[in-house]
Amino acid sequence: METWVSYESESHPNGVEELREMRDDVILSCFDAYDWTAINSEKDEEQKKDGGFLATLETFITTGSTKRTAAVEEGDSSRVVFLPTTAFSILRNIRESFPEHTLLLIDFDALPDVQIRGRNAPLVSDTVNALANDFTSYLVPVGSADIFFPTNFGALKAMYETEIFGCDQDPQCARQVDVSVRSSADFFKDYADLDITTTLSGYNPLIDDFTNTRVFVASSSHKKA
């Protein structure tokens, strides 16, 4: 089933969900590209990371505490999946407009304090009197909160390799597709000038902070004869 959300009137500002038979082409393609319901222990471990000193400082500033709020238990929430259909559409547009390219993306692969059930569920939050307020639903009035989605890089890789360029399904494919996903720390160790970003204490924010971020590097080109 796919979910449609409607906002009926100003007197009822919260959104209303309606389940419909899954027919949308982008939803179907995105869903088929990756096993969204499989339990991924590595991903669960990633979600336990605190993100480093700067992330902890940000939590203290916005909540008044250095402790993260416990996320909801998975339970049967794997039956609810928030699909990255916009990311899928962007990759499809890149294929059509720039078939030969190099793509570099960096984003959070996990977010703290998520209170919404479901795979790839977003963090919905606003700030009141300089303190963060996290919601248990995304059906909040339009513009009343920020909605942050983590990026599932395994799914992004699968969508890029299989659904977007299809070379895994076509042995006669004349296109060379290369994709790598790395932690941001590993990426910066290879490509950043760490000497100018390391403090006197040895602390380096590029390496030691925001450990819940990853880098996606992909390229598409014609195979050499």
Q: How many CA atoms lie within 13 A of 130 on its CB side?
A: 5
Q: Work out the percent of the chain whose per-residue pLDDT is above 90.
A: 46
Q: Which residue has the higher pLDDT, 142 or 221?
A: 142
What b-and-e string marks burial along 60-94, b requiring 16 or more CB atoms within 10 Å of the CB?
A: eeebeeeebeebeeeeeeeeebbbbeebbeebbeb
What are the angstrom distances between the C-alpha of 18 and each of 15, 121, 126, 174, 184?
10, 18, 25, 43, 38
d(CA 11, CA 28): 34
Task: Note whether 120 and 81 are within 8 A (CB).
Answer: yes
Residue 41 scores a pLDDT above 50: no
What pLDDT, on the 0 to 100 scale, is given for residue 8?
Answer: 81
Residue 183 scores a pLDDT above 90: yes
Residue 171 scores a pLDDT above 70: no
Ramachandran angles phi, psi of 28, nearest 5°: -60, -45
pTM of the model: 0.75
d(CA 125, CA 25): 30
Give residue 52's Cα distance to chain centre.
18
Other Cβ atoms closer than 10 A to 220: 21
Residue 137 scores a pLDDT above 80: yes
E strand spans, 161-203: 175-183
Residue 71 scores a pLDDT above 50: no
What average pLDDT does the segment 110-138 reach?
90
Other Cβ atoms closer than 10 A to 197: 13
What pLDDT, on the 0 to 100 scale, is given for residue 169?
Answer: 56
